[in-house]
Amino acid sequence: MGDCKTFALGDITLQSGVVLPDAKLTYQTYGEINAAHDNVIVLPTFYTGTHARNEGFFGSGRAMDPTRHFVVSIDMFGNGYSSSPSNTPPPFDGPRFPHVTLYDNIACQHRLLTEELGVESIALVAGWSMAGCQSYQWAAQYPNMVRAILPFCASAKTSQHNIVFLEGVKAALCADGNWNNGDYDGQPERGLRAFGRVYAGWAFSQTFYREGLYRQLGHETIEDLLLDWEEDHVQNWDANNLLTKLWTWQNGDISANELYHGDFRAALGAIKAKAILIPCADDLYFPPKDNEIETLYMPNATLRPYSSPWGHCVANPGNVPAFETFLDTCVCDLLSIHEER
């Protein structure tokens, strides 16, 4: 499983009413909590992310620096580390794993922070893609605990177009005859390869392909890139895990709970945290317009779009050094805002 810690949640009741027994969250921490307990940074994981992959967003000399901050990187449900279809025993194994919402994820992350780590206040929740969606959820679900959020290439509510995009990759995976409604004996390799191949068309912009920027990733041809995406999904992902997180993503909505009863504007308005929203102008499924609308109702939010032909994958650690610099500037601005108050 790699270098991580496990927090035993026990039996948890999900928003659906289903009780998931012996649930767990895996996570890793970096640095130490300071005497004032005001240096905590929370990094949830993105769709195909793990606690370890978040290490690309921080480090010595970066804006998020474990020598100054207590960084907590938390695996979301379904990613193969925390409770997931692939590691949960019957009766909730494989396709029988229950639907888990972002609300469920954050409620359990809150327990980890407060019960296990003794955290009462969070300086910053930040993240890319689905991790950014969780940063909105944190700020709406626990508005008095979160001082700042920095979602990049993300949204507070999954758009209809984003849902349709995800239906496409889902259909590609499930078309494999070996899928067997999730009760497969071996991974549905053809479906996973199709999933990766379709996804690659959305992850980067049209300009990325037109200008041959895939060569910067070491691929001589588009086919080389597609084969790499295929292999990544075959080697690294369980099909049921991917679909569990896909459902969570499709149903992302910070207002879909008893706090806000579906009133999206009210949920945005309840966010007290300082926020910088970073869309990529060329992101094909988290477009800037969604974030523009959010800033109309979030009292302490500013919009800082970043233009790059790398599209959604501009934020993938190591892809675009200039974006890392931009991200660090935004982190510094948010943290200094708090420190000056």
**Choice among 51, 69, 233, 312 that is catalytic:** 312
Neighbours of 216 (CB within 10 A): 12
So what's the pLDDT on residue 340? 40
Strand partners, 71: 30, 41
276 Cβ neighbours under 8 A, 6+ residues apart: 150, 301, 302, 303, 304, 330, 333, 334
Is 129 annotated as catalytic? Answer: yes
Is 283 annotated as catalytic? Answer: yes
DSSP one-letter string for 220-251: SSHHHHHHHHHHHHHHH--HHHHHHHHHHHHT
So what's the pLDDT on residue 3? 86
So what's the pLDDT on residue 336? 82
**Choice among 73, 283, 290, 308 that is catalytic:** 283
Cα separation, 320 vs 332, in Å, equals 19
**Choice among 129, 135, 205, 255 that is catalytic:** 129
So what's the pLDDT on residue 2? 58
How many residues does this entry show for the chain?
Answer: 341
So what's the pLDDT on residue 339? 44
Cα separation, 83 vs 97, in Å, equals 9
Q: What is the pLDDT along the chain (341 residues), one digit of tens a residue?
A: 458 999 999 999 999 999 999 999 999 999 999 999 999 999 999 999 999 999 999 999 999 999 999 999 999 999 999 999 999 999 999 999 999 999 999 999 999 999 999 999 999 999 999 999 999 999 999 999 999 999 999 999 999 999 999 999 999 999 999 999 999 999 999 999 999 999 999 999 999 999 999 999 999 999 999 999 999 999 999 999 999 999 999 999 999 999 999 999 999 999 999 999 999 999 999 999 999 999 999 999 999 999 999 999 999 999 999 999 999 999 999 998 434 43
Q: Is the distance from CB of 106 to CB of 267 less than 8 angstroms?
A: no
| pTM, to two decimals | 0.96
Structural domains present in the chain: 5-158+252-340 (3.40.50.1820), 162-246 (1.10.1740)
Cα separation, 50 vs 287, in Å, equals 24
Residue 150, classed as helix, strand or coil, is strand
Characterize the bridge pairing of strands 19-30 and 148-152: unpaired
Characterize the bridge pairing of strands 124-128 and 70-74: unpaired
